[in-house]
Chains A and B, each alone.
Chain A
Amino acid sequence: MAEHYLFAMANFLLCLVVAFIGVCRLNAMQGGVLLRVQSEYAAYVTSGLISAFQPWWGEWPRWGSIAIAAALLIGLLSSGHAWKRDTPPENATGHAPLGDAHD
Chain B
Amino acid sequence: MPVPASPTPPDDADLVRAYQGGSEAAATELVRRHGAPVARFLVGLGADYADIDDLVQETFFRAFRRIAGWRGDAGFRSWIFTIASNLLKDEHRRRKARRSVPLEDHDLPSRDNPESAFALRETERRLVAALQTLPRLQREVFLLRAQQGIEYPEIATTLGTTAGAARVHFHHAVKRLKEMIA
- Determine if chain A interacts with chain B: no
Please list the residues of chain B having a beta carbon within 8 angstroms of any beta carbon in chain A: none
